[in-house]
Amino acid sequence: MMQEEAYVRESTIQESTIQGNTIRKNIIQENARQWKGFLAHNINLDIRRYERNLKRFNRGGLFLFTFFLILALLPVLFAPYSPTERFMPYEAPSTAHLLGTNDIGNDILSELVYGARISMMVGFASACISTLIGLMIGLFSGYFRGTLDELLMGFTDVVLIIPKIPLIIILGAFLRPSIWTLILVLGLLSWESIARVVRSKTLQIREAGYVKSARCMGFSSVHIMASDIFPNLFHVLLPKFMLATASAMISEASLSFLGLGDISMKSWGIMLSFAFSRGGFIRDMWWWYLPPGICITLCVMSIALIGFGFEGKEKENGKRGVDAE
Amino acid sequence: MREGLKKVVRYAASFFLIVTLNFALPRLMPGDPVKNLIGEDVYVSEGVMEELRAGMGLDRPLYEQFTAYIGDLLRLDLGYSYHLHSPVADILRDRIGWTLLFVGVSVLLGTALGTLLGAYAGWKPETKANRLACCGFITLSCTPPYFLALLCLEIFAFKLGLFPFKGFYDVPTPGSIAHHMFLPVTVMALFSASRNFLIMRGSVIQEKGQLYALYARAKGLYDTSILFRHVIKNASLPIITLLALDFGFLFSGALFTEIVFSLNGMGTLIYDAIIGKDYPVLQGSFLVIALAVLLANMLADLLYEVADPRVRRPA
Amino acid sequence: MNILLEIKDLNVSFQGNETENKNENKSENKKEIKNETKKENETGTVTAVSCLSISIREKETLALVGETGCGKSVVAHAIMRLLPPESRVRGTIEFGGKNLLGLREKEMAKLRGKEISIIFQNPSLALNPVYSIGNQLAEPLRIHGQEKGKGKEKKKTEALSKVAGALKRVGFSNPHEYMGYYPSWCSGGMNQRFLIAASTILDPVLLIADEPSKGLDRDRVSELENEFKGLKEKSETALLLISHDLGFVRRLADRVAVMYAGEIVEIADTSSLFESPRHPYTRGLLNSLPERGFVPIPGLSPPLSSPPAGCRFHPRCNVKEKRCMQEHPKLKESNGRAVRCFLCP
């Protein structure tokens, strides 16, 4: 649901909100160059203050994220019951069931704990796919430039315009709802901004001395891309990967809400959807619908904040990189 | 000029891709294409199935089907919904007006709110209020839209009883419509604002360090008048592009909000179509939404040309 | 002649806490970041300007020269009070009987652009890219518009004619065409003239030109020179010219103040300074001119965060004595000139 463009960083503005318009892109890049200019200390201070904020966010994000990760990896430690075990339905919170039970008598807390794994898996798996596609397209387009670049970036722009959620809804409706198709569809449809960022970074790196010298020494393009360029892309990829994960998680939750999720794998989104459609809402059972919603928000936020943090660090690294050249 | 041509080609390609996707999906997806084209839960006899197959030309070669499909599109024939017993185009025509009104109003409100607050937050990022706003909007942008809608519905409509929780109006008067639309529009506006806010904030932080901002101060402007007279116009340029790209996102967000608030727009239409496996309606909706987003993007490109003199540099 | 602007004991320092300084090093050691505000390693404050006293008389042109990074621009920005908030400015800057440093921001804003104007060194960046030239030139008129009784339309036409006049003054023969232009459509030289027109449209009493010739080629510099000369003839404006281009300064200035490492080392009339420089640094500067043999001053300017003890110039001075390394010389005045050197009479 949320495309990564939602985020605030300058590089993000630079990269992803731009579409099919090289002039516009040039201008924004030019701006970026300009602001470093006269009296740069003025804003540098602000940005630094801002980065410090982000670092603080990042720490908070990291803490939350670790918590959710442990939840996802070792649900047995936290869940009092198995998520499929049945008790009395529609029970209010009590010492036996801290968050009550749902319509078929499952313990909601246990469901919540086990849901972490599924929600996060969907997010990370589809982010992996989209990052991989984006990396490939961006790398080739940036490294070979010329016609290939025009074609690939043209294609990226074309895909960028197609509204994702409606398309995913159609696909989801045609295909049997399963977690794997969901991951695949989400992954295949959200690589554009990653491709753009990777491309611009590749364009920058390929002009660096070490890449030029590697080319002079006659290494193959594939070798140069894999061993010289790829390691330097890591800093850009990581934040993008995190943001892609965050947005995939929100998309998953939204699709589950429409009944396009995998009912056999109860993610937070499906829990929320069930709470809405199976009476949790009408019966005013806040302990049913609030926890999964809050978990989604917090988890997405923790991942996004880590992404922001990486982006901030990437910036510094980028600066140092320019220095070195 | 070359840039312009490139843009036209890209838009044409997007258009083509959208139409092709719409054509190809029911034919490529697993299952009987006839079923895929009329909807899964429709019960028809074998004979009727064969009739339909011939009638839709599914036994003919693909390119013939495609030209026939394009012809249908040009005649605004988007198929027939066997669930609702009505042509899809008619159904969509009834519904899309409300959704467009809903999206339009909330996008305008959200953009205004997000841009202004974001600009101010970027201008004075260190104040407590602005930091708080920043945290708030980050949280908002990380919340699934329908969860936010659910919360608002629960709190303001059910618990406090301040607003009705269903439909566009009781009686079709502006007052009643406004009353009904208040909550959904607020949710959507907040959502669109959260995205604009973050972009605008970063943009202003970047722009206010530019030399022209200092020069504006040297001319005798001070404090926020520098922001409003000089920085904001530069900083909001990325917002234009964002708005266009966001249109698709907001449209989808609106669908979810509509479902939660039971508004009779595209969202509920799609929701019912998913539940009833009414594929023609789904396809038609996708086509209409995709075209709307395409148009919004073109509009943004034109707007950008007007707003940024650097793009329309004379030869 | 009356003294228009008097700066006494101006000290400008920049503070930053530790983390900021660390980050700063990464970016600020690069050339892209402007000169004097460089904050150096872990040490907290940097004194960009120390104990600076100069005065400008009415209609006079005073030039402030020195190497990049010696604090010239900081002085300009301190007069306009345009320094970033983390700077600490002490001393007095008296302008027309008022201490500028004591004014509130709102009062200061009323002076800016009307009585004191500045021309930045990078004209293409100083003009706002999304507003037309005409709009930006008329802006000081709008900000400082005094006549209230008149209708909007009348004001507008008046402003237009004023803008046209200002553009004509800087050499644009068909000003109405250029008013619709945007900065990005024009060359740097043109933008420079637009900037001068914008800064002088209200006939300020004091015009500060911060490295106006930087980044311009020879022809442009002489064009610029003519403009300033014309400006001086036609109006009552006093000019504070900040530059490191000595030839340019020599042709325009009435008096010259030489700065080194945040201090004034010599002030004199243009002719006497160029004919008989006293301070070893001034001599060094003049010797480094191409027409005088291109002899560079050995060494580098000291970092402003840790200036050397004694005379700040001593590490690079070829006539230094023992006390130069220990004692800090004072600015000594004698018949209209002032020099900061023990060895000069």
Domain containing A259: what range? Answer: 71-320
Share of chain A above pLDDT 70, in %: 78
d(CA B263, CA B164): 11
pLDDT at C41: 40
Q: Shortest CA distance to C33 belongs to which of A33, A41, A31, A46? A: A41
What average pLDDT does range C166-172 have in this prediction? 83
pLDDT of residue C310: 84
pLDDT band at A128 (very low <50, low <70, confident <90, very high): very high
What pLDDT does residue A305 have?
Answer: 85
A18 has a pLDDT exceeding 50? no
CATH number at residue A247: 1.10.3720.10
For an interface test with B, the pick among C20, C128, C132 (most B C-beta atoms closer than 10 Å) comes out as C128
Nearest to A195 by CA among A158, A167, A168: A158
The confidence band for C19, taking pLDDT boundaries of 50, 70 and 90, is: very low
Nearest to B308 among C109, C112, C130 (CB): C130
Residue A14 has pLDDT above 60, yes or no: no
Is the pLDDT at C68 greater than 90, yes or no? no
Please check the confidence at residue A29 and state whether its pLDDT lies above 80: no
pLDDT tens digits along A278-320: 877 777 788 888 889 999 999 999 998 888 777 766 555 544 4
The pTM score is 0.79
Q: Give residue A53's pLDDT band: very low, low, confident or very high (50, 70, 90).
A: low
For B153-202, the pLDDT digits (tens) are: 888 887 887 777 777 777 777 888 888 888 889 999 998 899 889 888 88
pLDDT at B265: 86
pLDDT over 80 (residue A55): no
Kindly list the domain boundaries of chain B, sorted by start residue. 2-78, 94-307
What tens digit of pLDDT does each residue of B99-147 get?
888 888 898 899 999 999 999 998 888 888 888 898 899 899 888 888 8
Is it the case that residue A133 has pLDDT exceeding 90?
Answer: yes
Helix axes B237-260 and B88-123, enclosed angle (nearest 10): 130
More confident residue, C33 or A308: A308
What pLDDT, on a 0 to 100 scale, did the predictor assign at position A325?
29
Write out pLDDT tens, residues C88-101.
Answer: 888 888 888 888 88
Nearest to B139 among A46, A162, A301 (CB): A301
DSSP H/E element including A110: helix A108-144
Mean pLDDT computed over C136-145: 85
Beta-carbon contacts of residue C4 (< 8 Å; ≥ 6 apart) = C55, C56, C57, C58, C60, C95, C96, C205, C206, C238
What does the pLDDT read at residue B1? 57
Tell me which residue of A229, A215, A297, A249 sits closest to A122, measured CA to CA: A249
What is the pLDDT averaged over residues C26-51? Answer: 51
**pLDDT tens-place string over residues B194-233:** 988 988 888 888 888 888 888 888 888 877 888 888 888 8
Name the C residues in 76-115 with CB < 8 Å from any A CB: 84, 86
Residue matched to tokens 């929600």: A119
Q: Please tell me the distance from the alpha carbon of residue A148 to that of residue A145, in angstroms, as a whole number.
A: 6
Q: Which of A34, A47, A293 has the CB atom closest to B147's CB atom?
A: A293
Q: Which of B172-181, C141-150, C169-178, C255-264 has the highest mean predicted lDDT (pLDDT)?
A: C255-264
Confidence of residue C18 (pLDDT cuts 50, 70, 90): very low
pLDDT tens for each residue of B31-67: 777 777 777 666 677 777 777 777 777 777 788 888 8
CATH architecture of C3-115+250-339: 3-Layer(aba) Sandwich (3.40)
Return the residue of C nearest to A43 by Cα. C84
Strands (E), B31-161: 80-81, 86-87
What is the C-alpha separation between A130 and A16, in angstroms, rounded? 15
Q: Which band of pLDDT confidence, cut at 50, 70 and 90, is reported for residue C23?
A: very low
Question: CB of C20 within 8 Å of any CB in chain A?
Answer: yes
Which of B6-15, B56-65, B303-312, C300-309 tops mean pLDDT? B6-15
Edge-to-edge strand ranges of the sheet holding C238-243:
C116-119, C206-210, C238-243, C61-65, C255-260, C263-269, C337-339, C332-334
Q: Identify the residue among C17, C19, C27 best suited for mutation to test binding to A, counting A beta carbons within 10 A and taking the highest.
A: C27
Residue A161 lies in a domain: yes
Sorting pLDDT into bands at 50, 70 and 90, what band is A56? low
Q: How far is C74 from chain A (nearest CA, A)?
A: 10
The ipTM estimated for the assembled molecules is 0.83
> What does pLDDT average to over chain A?
77
The verdict on B314 touching C (C-beta cutoff 8 Å) is yes
Task: Taking residues A163-188, report their average pLDDT.
Answer: 84
Mean pLDDT, rounded, for A76-103: 81
Tokens of C253: 């200035």
A13–B238 C-beta distance less than 8 A:
yes
3-state secondary structure A23-78: HHHHHHHHHHHHHCCCCHHHHHHHHHHHHHHHHHHHHHHHHHHHHHHHHHHCHHHH
CB B279 within 8 A of CB B56: no
End-to-end Cα distance, chain B:
10
Chains that touch C (3 or more CB pairs under 8 A): A, B
Helix (H) or strand (E) holding A121: helix A108-144
Residues C254 and C274: their CA atoms lie apart, in Å, by 12
* Residue of chain B with shortest Cα separation from A260: B274
Total tally of structural domains belonging to chain A = 1
Percentage of chain B beyond pLDDT 90 is 6
Mean pLDDT of chain B: 83
Choose the weakest-confidence range: B29-33, B237-241, C61-65.
B29-33
**Structural domain spans, chain C:** 3-115+250-339
Asked if A49's CB is within 8 angstroms of B125's CB, the reply is: yes
pLDDT band at residue C102 using 50, 70 and 90 as cut-offs: confident
Residue A52, in any domain of the structure: no
Cβ of B220 within 8 Å of Cβ of C128? The answer is no
Residue A126 has pLDDT above 90, yes or no: yes
Residues 6+ apart with CB under 8 A from B278: B39, B81, B82, B83, B84, B272
Taking the CA of residue C339 as centre, how many other CA atoms within 13 Å lie in the half-sphere pointing to its CB? 19
DSSP state of A106: B
pLDDT of residue C326: 84
Task: Tell me the per-residue pLDDT of C183-213, one tens digit each, with 9 for 90 and over.
Answer: 888 888 888 888 888 888 888 889 998 888 7
Higher per-residue confidence, C179 vs A177: C179
Residue B87: is its pLDDT beyond 80? yes
Q: For residue A158, list chain B residues with Cβ-Cβ distance below 8 A.
A: 10, 13-14, 17
Q: Which one has a higher pLDDT value, A58 or B1?
A: A58
Tell if the CB–CB gap between C105 and B222 is shorter than 8 Å.
Answer: yes
pLDDT value of residue C33: 38
Which CATH code for domain B94-307?
1.10.3720.10
Give C281-314 pLDDT, tens digit per residue.
Answer: 888 888 888 877 778 888 788 877 778 888 888 8
Residue A294: the pLDDT is 92
C-alpha span between B204 and B237 (Å, rounded): 11
pLDDT band at C1 (very low <50, low <70, confident <90, very high): low
Is A158–B297 a contact, with Cβ atoms under 8 angstroms apart? no
Answer whether B310 sits within 8 Å of C184, measured CB to CB: yes
pLDDT digits (tens, 9 = 90+) for B245-257: 777 788 888 888 8
Checking if the pLDDT of C153 tops 90, the result is no
Mutate to test the interface with C, among B203, B215, B240 (most CBs of C within 10 A): B215
